[in-house]
Chains A and B, each alone.
Chain A
């Protein structure tokens, strides 16, 4: 019925009644409008009050909380600048960063790790820190992190955190049960030939369900209830350090170069620990589960867990046994550890270069950087800010010096280069097979290096 006919039938009274379909369409439009208003309200972030807003992107929620406190102090000293922290999950961090930088929508400052910064630096996406903050500023920062983020003689990020070196967490209760003293732990040595003490000690610490240590008659490798060690396909925690301790190399500049005799020895040793000695969990458990070994250690089923400071907080909070930290085993050429760092890079396309310079200077200062160490979750890369970290762990009765003492000696460089991510995706499946024992070490390294370099060059 139309409004017109209704009006006609109404006689003197003209009543305009809208058609049902009109009402229906209007209702849909109203619902849509309400949803849009809700979306606008949800997107309202509050004005900046005339201040310059600088955005900082990172992937760690705990460190982000520390940064917010740091930037509150910064804003008190720089009332014309507001700093907003943007946390993006690590899993998608570098994928979304790449698209955002390419699309011109990246934050003014963003975290980078050594493995991923080279491409941005080579393509002019980052600020030259020496030019931005002055050439002498780097002296206040951790030397290893400065070196990691220096490319072609230019420093491309303000060091924020360092992982320090790799050490061995030990379960003191299990060591006592096996009659192993701390001194024995501290003299551990691995060697493909004579002079090895690690394998024997690990065999004493690996026990099957019937209580038989590894290597003894009756030991059943299919029913192990306690592992000695976490040998695994773990780049930072395990095999880089073994390669370095064997005198080998992982990369030569930006090219993958791990197919060398010393690295072969290192990998052969590790694969032997897993598949021949059975003192470490099978690669089928550890290849795709980065938490497996740590959780075995936390549940008291692993005596020695070689890892970095990034697992310290979890172990301190969750271990239900007496534990400590010792230096990692020495290899044929001594104790060599990798060290990794994180830097805050300035976006060269930022719309606020002056404000970004102020923020970067703050982040690289002891006052700004110390907040990252006070809760003990991360080691500040500004040297003068590091005591906060040591104080925290000293107060909790944890000696963290093994993570740092190992860096007094030679290091093996953390891997990187513009093709690292692609190369890693190419060689990891081959390494998985190698650690599973399905492919020989020599074949695997040759194939993996070739595949990695080919992928990196694409």
Chain B
């Protein structure tokens, strides 16, 4: 039987969580409602008014503003970077975790140290590189800086790979497995949770990337969702109803991905926690 003090303490905890949930979720709800509100109603009534009547005009307005293309560009960019980052990060992390070569550890820590460098520091040299090679405002400019692995991914994978029992790898080697065989048959199956987690982090990071696409592209051809959303605001009008429709559309794929793959994130946390 639960004691009264424990009941009170549980109630307090749940109350705190409820308040936190409300603070977190209300902005999303407000954004969703605003996306169904006409511009006229939004400008002439309280921003908290319910849409009356609800309208899809903001969503059709997105189509007119070329938002569909921005979605396709962003999805394609994210897919390419995801594939590239996973492939190259896995290869690099395995090398740092399991291969022996001179300067391995020093090289690893130098690479990880680049995590401390703010992205804004590398924007200018990267831009100049793209401009000099004629890649400015192209799809390659969006993906090349990010598709060859990331220090964060390599660090995370390297630590995870080191927890895989060496006996498994030695057994595979005895069977005649090459390095690629070991990675494909032993390491990757054992690393599913962390790979899914990294994949989700990469997808979210690249989907929400704003500064680099803003700098390296111009116009509507290679605009991504973040830049397209910001571009909905004109010089003299915030166009908030359109912006809310855009953010609603932009967030749906991320929510779907998280719901579909969330359990893998939990299991990766559990596994690393037990270790």
Contact = CB atoms under 8 A, between A and B. Distances in A.
Interface of A: 2, 19-22, 24-25, 28, 31-32, 35-36, 38-39, 42-43, 45, 57, 59-61, 86-92, 95-96, 99-100, 103-105, 289-291, 294-295, 298-300, 310-311, 314, 317-318, 320
Contact of A92 (B222, B230, B232): B230
A61 B67 CA distance: 13
Contacts of A22: 180
Contacts of B215: 96, 99
25 contacts: A2-B176, A20-B184, A21-B181, A21-B184, A22-B180, A25-B180, A25-B184, A42-B76, A42-B139, A43-B222, A57-B218, A59-B234, A61-B234, A89-B230, A90-B235, A92-B227, A96-B214, A100-B136, A103-B127, A103-B128, A289-B238, A291-B43, A310-B236, A311-B236, A318-B44
Contacts of B136: 100, 103, 105
B50 interface: no
Contacts of A39: 76, 80, 139
B123 to A, nearest CB: 9
B222 to A, nearest CB: 8
B44 A300 contact: yes
Nearest to B236: A310
A294 B231 contact: no
A103 B39 contact: no
Given A89-B231, A295-B44, 19 more contacts: A21-B184, A24-B184, A25-B184, A28-B87, A35-B79, A42-B139, A43-B139, A60-B234, A88-B231, A89-B227, A89-B233, A96-B214, A99-B215, A103-B136, A290-B238, A298-B43, A310-B235, A314-B43, A314-B237
A90 B235 CA distance: 6
Given A39-B139, A60-B235, A103-B136, A320 B214 contact: no
Given A43-B138, A59-B235, A21 B185 contact: yes
A87 B219 contact: yes
A58 to B, nearest CB: 10
Contacts of A318: 39-40, 43-44
B83 interface: yes
B127 A99 contact: yes
B178 interface: yes
A320 B43 CA distance: 11
B227 A90 contact: no
Nearest to B232: A89
A2 B184 CA distance: 15
B238 A19 contact: no
A103 B131 contact: yes
A90 B185 contact: no
A295 B47 CA distance: 10
A290 B236 contact: yes
Interface residues of B, number: 45
Contact of A291 (B184, B218, B238): B238
A424 B180 CA distance: 58
Contact of A100 (B44, B183, B218): B218
Contacts of A317: 40
Nearest to B128: A103
Contacts of B45: 299
Nearest to A292: B238
A291 B237 contact: yes
Interface string B169-207: 000000010101101110000000000000000000000
B72 interface: yes
Contacts of B127: 99, 103
A55 to B, nearest CB: 8
Contacts of B83: 28, 31-32, 35
9 closest A-B pairs by CB: A89-B231, A103-B131, A299-B44, A86-B219, A21-B184, A90-B235, A39-B139, A295-B43, A21-B180
A19 to B, nearest CB: 7
Nearest to B228: A89
Interface in B142-188: 176, 178, 180-181, 183-185
A105 B131 contact: yes
Contacts of B73: 42
Contacts of A88: 218-219, 231
A90 B234 contact: yes
Nearest to B210: A92
B65 interface: yes
A351 B219 CA distance: 19
Contacts of B230: 89, 91-92
B221 A43 contact: yes
A104 B234 contact: no
Contacts of A100: 136, 218
A95 B231 CA distance: 13
A35 B72 CA distance: 12
Nearest to B240: A291
Given A91-B231, A92-B214, A314-B237, A299 B80 contact: no
Contacts of B128: 103
Contact of B231 (A45, A92, A104): A92
Most chain B Cβ neighbours within 10 Å, of A103, A290, A320: A103
Nearest to B80: A35
